[in-house]
Structure 1
Amino acid sequence: MSRLAPYLQYLPAFEATARLGGVRHAAEELNLSPSAISLQLKKLSDATGIVLFQKSGRNVALTEAGKDFSQAVAISLGQLDTATRASRKITSGGQPASLLVSVPTALGIAWLTAVIVDFAETHGIANLTINEAITAAEVDWENNDLAVVYDNPPFPGKYWRSLSEVRLCAVCSPTLFPRLDLRNRDRKLSSVALLHEDDGGEWAKWSIAARIGLDGNTRVRVNSVAQAVASAVQGRGVALVSDVLTRNYLSEGRLIQPFATTINAAREYYIVCQIDRASDPVLRVLADRVVEHMRPGRDQNT
């Protein structure tokens, strides 16, 4: 077995001095005397063979070699801190005591929240927190272990895994179907409201693909796709939304898809986490569970 580097005990003193720019400040933070900090820095320099600091007035400044070493130390100590905090979550049974997951609101309402809750119950996770965010940039990574996002990579500093491409389909309540007068040669959706969350660009693309005119429609722009789906279920219009969101509603008969035409969405679903958490066994199992439920044709109630 390889021996640990003999200078590891001096790294906190070095990190604090490098970050704070002075021995006295480092001593105050670590509750040590300035002479003790100076001695540790000397021993670290002797052990590594690196000249770490040079005098800068009454303080010290990193040498070029010291700057490189400081970056490596900061990364290593950060990884150790992350690993320590993760380990504290582990219960005596070998499962995490808590789990924090971020999901897009509409997908959570449709079925994902139920999947995560079931996962937590199955794995004995006592404290589950489900937060909301759509894109990776909106996720609070200080308070989430894992996130499912509707976005496009790259996600700098993160590990990500594709869950599903997204196809957009027009859906409505069965009660609205009689109002869709499509018998004429110039097929139009002029008698119903079109529900959308963007500027209407996706409806325009769908219209061209389906060869259905959209002139004279009432346009209803909502703040979230969850509102669009809810309004469609309530018979208030036709929504152009993800097939991933509508599977349950379609299988239950609460929504119908009156047109076969679908188009590619501008974004896809990804599962994202911090790079140093990518090999976490619990997060990997949860990711596999979500991927399984994302499979086309999967009944999300099973």
Structure 2
Amino acid sequence: MRLLGVALVGDFQVAHKFSDHESDIPCSYRPSRQPKPARTATAPGSAAPFQGEVPQLPFHSETRRCPMTKKLLAEMLGTFILVFFGCGAAVLMGEQIGMLGIALAFGLSIVAAAYSLGAISGAHLNPAVSLGFLMAGRMPVAEFGGYVLAQVAGAVIGSLAVFLIASGKADYSLATNGLGQNGFGAGYLGEYSMGAALIFELLATFIFVCVILAATASHVSPASTALAGLAIGLTLTGIHLVGINVTGVSVNPARSVGPAVFVGGKALADLWVFIVAPLAGGAAAGLAHASGFFRPGGVQPAPATGAPVV
């Protein structure tokens, strides 16, 4: 694991060091047009500090210079991956892999999307995460709506893909087998009450978004941030291990909308819970982050404009 962190950080440093002109720098590493102060960090595995700017890592969406169209396509593709992996595992392989396997599928989807698409859009893949970034001052208001629409579109397309594949099995029934939709109450998994569903989704989303905001903050060391995608994916896995039997685990309005659109009925009737509770949890996490609770003393958050951290 230590070697992985060193290798990833090394790649970021090379990309930054050998680009003499901003036009040559990949969109995820382009610096703000304002000059950034030099920062000192410690190289992994060494007590000797190195001088120079600590590179901005893929999950710092507030410093990115990628075209908006590319960001939205990345969010759509990433949310597709999340739904295809997670809901696909539940529908196509649920009996074989059980709840542990489904939890791992959701977590691994985040890891895959984070490291493949995080450098483009930040790999939010979730309206609650985007709202958390917005409330924390780490995302421009102008980008929020586009991100949400792209995430919902990706979830719908992912659900459609799972449905088309599942339909190839003779005994598959949308009404009986579903598409990995979320729910609660009589007839749904553990048959937990609406109150329990609301509490779980609110708390689980708050924890999830807090981890994301803290793990990707600008004050975090390069070695730690290089492993942020893994930490976030494992957190989502843990949340699923706790809550699959309660609600099927949403913590993501887009992930809930995708299957509900096709399943209809109770899935649509219950959908408001999986929109309201995750958004409330994400907003609360963003406000907590903005308050400075997750930052060391004296460290200020990076503004949404991409200006340097002071």
Higher strand share: 1
Relative contact order (C-alpha < 8 Å, sep 6+): which is higher?
2
Which of the two has higher C-alpha Rg? Answer: 1
If the TM-score is normalised by the length of the shorter chain, which range does it land in? under 0.3
- Structure with greater helix percent: 2
TM-score by length of 1: 0.27
